[in-house]
Amino acid sequence: MAASKSRLCAELARATAVDEVEQTLAAFLATRLSPRARLCVGLSGGRDSVVLLHALDRLRASGLAFDLAAVHVHHGLSANADTWAAFCTALCRRNGVPLDIVRVEVPRASGEGLEAAARRLRHAVFAERPADWLALAHHRDDQAETVLFRLLRGAGVSGAAGMLAERPQAGGPRLIRPLLDVPRSTIARYAEERSLSWIEDESNADDRYRRNHLRQAVMPRIEQRFPAAAQALARAGRHFAEAALLLDELAQGDRALLVGARGRIDVARFNALSTPRARNLLRFELRLAGFRAPETRWLDEALRQLTTVDSRSGTCIATPDGEIHVYRGELYPVRHRPPVPEVAVPWRGEAEVRWGGDRVRFTPTAGTDISRRLLASAPASLRSRQGGERLQPDRRRPARTLRNLLQEAGVPPWERAQMPLLWCGERLAWVGGIGVDAAFACLPGEEGLALVWE
């Protein structure tokens, strides 16, 4: 009788574990997904992502209306990478889930480390998915390891906040981690109960990686003395996240008080802040510009240098991700950008042309901007600035050197080298950020084009 009761309790525990995954997912998605929302799963082929895909597929089959797809990033770092891609292909084919396999080339000498480089490229793939939501399978134990790992590296409040359950991606789907409150053991029991198969990444067993060492050697020792350590660390991460939110709100308030005429932080007023508030605001400003979280020693050196500038200074402080410029007394964090083409890029009527890391859009208009008729009078092309160019933005005034126009418009020097110039034959027709030459202006009722440099 006692044995039967024990077996019943074990079965109920397993069933509860399975229910917990699906109920957690359903509750998470219910407040976010609109009807026919497009949801894409980042599918590595490991147990956690296989469980996430399986549970989402079951929810979809049960009547929760959303379109489900998956993406597998082929890093090519393992001899088994092709096998993993084949496994994901077969899994998605069996379940009727569309799958994209995207190959990336991970640089081995980028200075950021192999893991970080692979993660950066993976997230770049995620940001380009044609979806509304991009779901990853991180769970509570992953969160605990992340918090502990970042604390050991000396992370600040924002870094120690761990992974967010939801965050936007620039120009792409919102990234979600719907299983972040579910423990690893529950996911393992789900996989067992549903008889799922998955692949094992051999690098996860390599103790040379610090994250693996934490997972395999450190966390088990901690949990011997503190059985709820993973739960406590994940909870601490949420507390850090709240504190980070408050610091961001403080930075937003400080920024609103310090912005100058061009919408940038006035350096003189910035230097009047207390050191902790200045450091907090600079960290916030860098994050807005897309920089990774800088080390404290680097922030302190940047603060020291900023105290030495004056209103005319062109100070440039280099970082691994870009530079901090001071131009006309205001602060400009500028990320590294791909170089612009050294040769002319022909325009043959496309709606969009890539320009280094930027793009130039051509949008049809009527009676405004640049004349399509005049632009068709000779081959058109985008070129970089060479020096000595002249432009006449206003037909009531003579043509002026582009150098003078850029200075007058307050275009920072580093932007001048990046800007695209549209030539029609050997005549300058348009300059990004400045405008159209009067000789190419569209007449009323005529077909035109609006050019936008993004």
The pLDDT of residue 226 is: 93
Fill in the amino acid letter for 228.
Answer: A
* Same domain, yes or no: 89 and 169: yes
Q: 285, 314, 335 — which closes off a domain? A: 335
Place 111 in a pLDDT band, splitting at 50, 70 and 90. Answer: low
What pTM does this model have?
0.70
d(CA 198, CA 200): 7
Domain presence at residue 125? yes
What is the maximum alpha-carbon separation in the chain? Answer: 101
Domain presence at residue 173? yes
* Same domain, yes or no: 305 and 369: no
* Same domain, yes or no: 229 and 202: yes
Domain presence at residue 407? yes
pLDDT > 60? residue 246: yes
Alpha-helical (H) ranges within 44-154 are: 47-61, 81-95, 114-127, 140-152
pLDDT in tens, 282-331: 999 998 888 877 778 888 888 998 988 776 667 778 877 888 999 888 99
* Same domain, yes or no: 287 and 368: no
Q: 285, 301, 335 — which closes off a domain? A: 335
* Same domain, yes or no: 364 and 421: yes
Q: Cα 10 vs. chain centroid, distance in angstroms?
A: 43
* Same domain, yes or no: 174 and 97: yes
* Same domain, yes or no: 168 and 83: yes
Residue appearing with tokens 């020097």:
413
Domain that holds residue 288: 260-335
The pLDDT of residue 210 is: 82
Find the CATH number of the domain harbouring 172.
Answer: 3.40.50.620
d(CA 212, CA 210): 5
Domain presence at residue 3? no
Q: 304, 335, 366 — which closes off a domain? A: 335
Domain presence at residue 2? no
Give me 141's structure tokens: 């134990």
Percent of the chain whose predicted confidence (pLDDT) is above 70: 94
Helices 140-152 and 184-193, interaxial angle, to 10°? 150
Question: Which is more confidently placed, 204 or 189?
Answer: 189
* Same domain, yes or no: 282 and 372: no
**Cβ(75)–Cβ(191) below 8 Å:** no
Side by side, the strands of the sheet bearing 427-431 are 345-347, 380-383, 421-424, 427-431, 435-436
Mean of pLDDT over the chain: 88
The pLDDT of residue 110 is: 61
The pLDDT of residue 169 is: 84
pLDDT in tens, 318-359: 877 888 999 888 999 988 888 888 899 999 999 999 998 889
Domain presence at residue 127? yes
Mean pLDDT, residues 41-48:
96
Q: How many domains does the chain have?
A: 3
pLDDT in tens, 375-405: 999 999 999 999 899 999 888 889 999 999 9
Alpha-helical (H) ranges within 184-263 are: 184-193, 210-213, 219-225, 229-258
pLDDT > 90? residue 208: no
* Same domain, yes or no: 295 and 170: no
* Same domain, yes or no: 200 and 62: yes
d(CA 335, CA 289): 7
Coil, strand or helix at 98: coil
* Same domain, yes or no: 406 and 432: yes
Domain presence at residue 443? yes
The pLDDT of residue 436 is: 94
* Same domain, yes or no: 352 and 438: yes
Domain presence at residue 106? yes
β-strand partners of 100: 71
Which of 46, 211, 208 shows the shortest CA–CA distance to 143? 211
Q: How many CA atoms lie within 13 A of 63 on its CB side?
A: 0
